[in-house]
Structure 1
Amino acid sequence: MSKTVTCLYQDQQKAAAIVSRLEQAGLSRGDIDVYTDASDTLIDDLVDEGVPRSDAHAYAEGVRRGRALVTVECDDDAVDRVVGILDGEGVLDLDEQQTSWRADGWQGHDASASGGVAGMGSASSDVASDLAGSGRTTRARADAADVGGSDQVIPIAEEELHVGKREVGHGRVRIQSRVVERPVQEQVTLREERVDVERRPASGTTQAGTISGDPFQERTIEVEERREEPVVSKEARVTEEVVVRKDVEERTETVSDTVRKTEVDIEDERRSQGTGTTGPTDRKR
Structure 2
Amino acid sequence: MSVSALFDTQDDAQRAVDRLLVARVDMSQIRLDSGKTDTATEQADQGKGFWDSLGDLLMPDEDRYSYAEGLSRGGHLLTVSGLDSEKYDAVLDILDDEGTVNLDEREASWRNEGWGGYEVSPYAAERATAAGHSATPSGESIPVVQETLRVGKRDTSHGRVRIRAYTVETPVSETVELRDEHVELVRTPVDRPAIVDEDYRERTFEAEEHREEAVVSKEARVVEEIGLRKTSDTRQETVSDTVRHTEVEVDDERSTLGRDDRNRTRE
TM-score, normalised via structure 2 length? 0.37
User: More helix per residue: 1 or 2?
Assistant: 2
- Which of the pair has more CA radius of gyration? 1
TM-score, normalised via structure 1 length? 0.35
